[in-house]
Structure 1
Amino acid sequence: MLIPSHIVQANDTLIYGLGLAASVVCAVTGVLVARDKGVDLFGALMAGVATSLGGGTVRDLLLGRKVFWMADETYLWVTVITAMLTFFITRVRHLPEKLFLIPDAIGLALFAIVGTQVALDWNMPWLTASLLGVLTAVLGGLLRDVMINEVPLVFSSELYATAAWFGSITLIILDALGVQATVAAWAGILVCIMVRLMAIRWKVTLPRFKH
């Protein structure tokens, strides 16, 4: 696949690849979550698209840049095709519920790093860049859960947005220290995934309101 001509910075090839990978993973998780609600093909497609593209869309609107999947329709095609394939596969083959957790953690990490790097490329301050990374990572899942009438995972689960923020901060710190972009990105991804999975394993949550 040729990299679009608008991608010019040295580390953008990596970010482009991570963005496509995140779109695939989140389209799968979106359909898996919607499956248990008995939605039809269109409903599953909307859940997959919202999960994959929702966060990045809002990020780009806030930054005043052209929405990424409108600038490059590859993201949209990859998301739609993945969602449709997942829908038809899960109709004939049952996938365990727990299978959703690991892909979701991977998608969370990928989008957190992509969103943070995009914000850094637009010269955002570190705190703004980290929060835009978190928004990119969690807003799609939030939209998905609202669409299918579920309590959003980001509000009720083990460390979720916090894991995304740890990954974003890792990228920002390493970038400030002059670490190679590829190394910094993968380090941020691994930190996010590890924090999320450890939180699931040991049931670590933020303080909550008591009933």
Structure 2
Amino acid sequence: MNASPSPAAAPVASAPAVTPMGWMHTARFLTTAAQLHHLPTLEWPEVAFVGRSNAGKSTCINTLTQQKQLAFASKRPGRTQHINLFALGKQGITDAILADLPGYGYAAVAKTEKARWQQVMGQYLVSRPNLRAVVLLCDPRHGLTALDEALLEIIRPRVEQGLNFLVLLTKADKLTRSEGAKALSIARLQAGGGQVQLFSALKKKGVDEVAQLLWNWTHNCAA
């Protein structure tokens, strides 16, 4: 008697494609450090978010990750004085790191504290070995300040060596179309080889584009 044919194997469902926004949503708290030497040595590519205390950095991170309270947004700018790391990666498998650096330039912070954090941030930006990209947030109504330009000078050698760099003009919903175009033009002249993007957490402007850039930079894709 002929053996009956084996039943056909059930088709294997392909895993859904990972979108940059879906990937950003996986962000989860990893660790916090008050000093540079307290940060763990990591192998994954790291993206640092920096900017003045009132530039909307925490709001930007929370908007990109679609989480309301991932990054701490204090009602008192300049209050957060730690480097906070967040892990990214599907199913709990880390493939990149977001670093939220303390906001700088807030007048109510003591001068000694400002000086200490300028030194810590400078050391981080110059020496962090797995740093792959820097996102500098700026309120376009005020433009890049002297502190922002000082930060640009700190990272310029690494940018020339291939560090990715983005100037993110936040609160773009407060600008008219012509004001936005002017702000972009000015920032491009100041960015020194970095990319520039308008961003609005309220209107979700630029959110998809920034998520795509971060994905490209941390996964060795063409930007």
TM-score range, shorter chain: under 0.3
Greater share of strand: 2
Greater share of helix: 1
- TM-score between the two structures when normalised by the length of structure 1: 0.27
| Higher Rg | 2
